[in-house]
Amino acid sequence: MTRARPLALLLAASLLPLAACTTTEGDGAPVASASAPASAQAKNVILFIGDGMGISTITAARIYDGQKRGESGEENSLSFEKFGNVALVKTYNTNAQVPDSAGTATAIHSGVKTRIGVLGIGPDAEKGVCADALAHPLPLLGEEVKRRGAALGIVTTTRLTHATPASVYARSADRDWESDSLIPADQRDAGCKDIAQQLVDADFDVALGGGTAVMFGPHEGGARGGAGADLPGDWARRTDGNVVFTRADLAKAPLDGPLLGLFSPSHMTYMADRKPDSSEPTLTEMTAAALARLKAHSGGYYLMVEGGRIDHAHHEGRAGYALEETVEMARAVQYAVDNTDPADTLIMVTADHSHVFTIAGYPQRGNDILGLVVPPIGRGEDGGDGGPLMAADGKPYATLGYANGPGAVQGERQIPQTGLAARQQALVPLGSETHGGEDVALFATGSGSDRVRGVIEQNVIYQIIRKALGWAE
């Protein structure tokens, strides 16, 4: 493992958003209207994906972020909400009204919508069947980036083998085939590689995230079938690259040569649970590390950055944790804005899907977004005496909630938990809260951002990226 000079930060650059009008064709592809300006060609593209960051999450995170600074919150804007171009994105999978991250991320990185639960393979392939995966491969943006001489970066707060980051480089009949030991016995001899093996076999310049467990065998406490498995070591020997496992190692890693960072056994620690001396870098620090390396590449670059634990917090019914993760992603976006040139870089921010997460109850302006509903003073029949509103069962209720999930009320409803660590109340009891099926937002600024407008199919994001880079008509 090589050690070298400290991480150098890029110089700040101003950001000039572009705006445009639009219509859409029947397939959801954007069509420039007569008044839309010609799109500039980008040298670089950065795509931020807030996993599960639906519009209600953005709204609540905006308020939460402002309230952390002592403001009322509603008037606040997250970094990417200031971008000049916005579209709505339809997220369904080919066989699912409400999608998962594998199908949606595949649409973004292949240009083709596909089934729920599969990566990089077409909708004719049956989930879990290796032969079908081999017979129906889709193009992968990560492969094209390298084939065209550009640099490739992947950053995530999840395992690098999780669905969204894996969509950049992997094809799999099942998103859960992250390790060889996770492929069913009847499929192991059919010729499919597990996702971790595909990662270390892939051609990338920077990959930073979690997931050491699927990289090592039992001798290192890992989940791979081979007793002496060491995929990071194999990768380093093949590429002459550097592997880092801590925040301190990342800061000292050389700027030249490929870099693989694995900072936790599984997903990285929630921001809300981190200690000041955490050995894990933040999403912003990983974004900075990736840009410091990719910017030096003369052929340009594609960087995918995922705020992946937004999704996990929602599944646990812990809205405060999801909002904290969203605020950190907005911080990483701001870093990218400040350290790139809009004249040659397209920055986009989107979500792969939403969640069944609501903001309700007529709380007063500036009401604690993680608290109970307190109405405006003088609201009349609804109270307004400075105390929380009461539901029909005579107990207060919270502003944030879920349509389903582990916080579901069973029997007599208790007074809701409040604060950052609270588990919000839900309606339908489920062990894990589910995704939502409504459209998500796509925000864009910089070169080629005028193509982001209207209501589009999710796979059109792939087309926007390729057109911005001059790879498509």
Structure tokens at 229: 């498995």
Q: What confidence tier does 35 reach under pLDDT thresholds 50, 70, 90?
A: very low
**At 302, which helix (H) or strand (E)?**
strand 301-307
3-class state of residue 158 by DSSP? strand
What's residue 224's pLDDT? 92
3-class state of residue 173 by DSSP? coil
What's residue 459's pLDDT? 98
Q: Lowest-confidence range among 23-27, 53-57, 63-67, 195-199?
A: 23-27
| pLDDT at position 212 over 70 | yes
| pLDDT at position 264 over 80 | yes
- Assign residue 393 a region: left if phi > 0, alpha if psi is -120 to 50, beta otherwise? alpha
What's residue 383's pLDDT? 56
Instruction: Check: CB of residue 198 under 8 Å from CB of residue 140.
Output: no
Structure tokens at 266: 């599984």
Q: Is 112 exposed, middle or buried (0-12, 13-18, 19+ CB in 10 A)?
A: middle
- Torsion angle of the four alpha carbons 208, 214, 217, 222, in this order, in degrees rounded to the nearest 10: 90
Question: Residues 102-115: pLDDT tens digits?
Answer: 999 999 999 999 99
Question: Residues 134-163: pLDDT tens digits?
Answer: 999 999 999 999 999 999 999 999 999 999
Q: Lowest-confidence range among 13-17, 128-132, 222-226?
A: 13-17
Domain membership flag for residue 57: yes
> In sequence order, which ranges of 175-299 are alpha helices (DSSP H)?
195-201, 231-239, 247-252, 283-294
| pLDDT at position 220 over 90 | no
| pLDDT at position 473 over 70 | no
Q: What is the mean pLDDT of the chain?
A: 92
| pLDDT at position 398 over 50 | yes
Structure tokens at 61: 């995170």
Q: Which of 39, 56, 79, 101 is catalytic?
A: 101
Average pLDDT over residues 430-450: 98
d(CA 60, CA 398): 13
Domain membership flag for residue 5: no
Number of domains in the chain: 1
What's residue 9's pLDDT? 33
Q: What value does the CA radius of gyration of the chain take, rounded to a whole number of Å? A: 22
**At 462, which helix (H) or strand (E)?**
helix 460-468
Q: How many CA atoms lie within 13 A of 68 on its CB side?
A: 14
| pLDDT at position 16 over 50 | no
| pLDDT at position 194 over 50 | yes
Q: What confidence tier does 28 reach under pLDDT thresholds 50, 70, 90?
A: very low
Cβ atoms < 10 Å from Cβ of 271: 23
| DSSP notation for 314-325 | HHTT-HHHHHHH
- Write down the residue that tokens 């999704």 correspond to: 311
- Torsion angle of the four alpha carbons 329, 198, 434, 409, in this order, in degrees rounded to the nearest 10: -90
What's residue 458's pLDDT? 98
| pLDDT at position 382 over 50 | yes
| pLDDT at position 338 over 60 | yes
| pLDDT at position 417 over 90 | yes
Q: Lowest-confidence range among 225-234, 298-307, 410-419?
A: 225-234
Instruction: Check: CB of residue 62 under 8 Å from CB of residue 76.
Output: yes
Backbone angles phi and psi of 433, in degrees to 5: -60, 150
Domain membership flag for residue 394: no
What's residue 21's pLDDT? 32
| Whether 14 is catalytic | no
Q: What confidence tier does 124 reach under pLDDT thresholds 50, 70, 90?
A: very high
Domain membership flag for residue 2: no
| pLDDT at position 167 over 70 | yes
Domain membership flag for residue 284: yes
Instruction: List, in sequence order, every residue forming a beta bridge with 216; answer none if it has no partner.
Output: 230
| DSSP notation for 379-433 | -BTTB-SSSPPB-TTSSB-BSEEEEEETTB--SSPPPPP-STTPPPPEEEE-SSP
Domain membership flag for residue 12: no
Question: Residues 55-98: pLDDT tens digits?
Answer: 999 999 999 999 999 999 999 999 999 999 999 999 999 999 99
CATH number of the domain within which 213 lies: 3.40.720.10
| pLDDT at position 211 over 60 | yes
For a pLDDT cut of 90, what percent of the chain falls above it? Answer: 87
d(CA 254, CA 266): 25
Cβ atoms < 10 Å from Cβ of 321: 23
What's residue 384's pLDDT? 60
| pLDDT at position 15 over 80 | no
| Structural domain boundaries, residue 161 | 22-356+434-468
Domain membership flag for residue 195: yes
Domain membership flag for residue 391: no
- Tell how far CA 372 is from the center of its chain: 29
Instruction: Check: CB of residue 103 under 8 Å from CB of residue 116.
Output: yes
d(CA 463, CA 450): 13
Average pLDDT over residues 300-307: 98
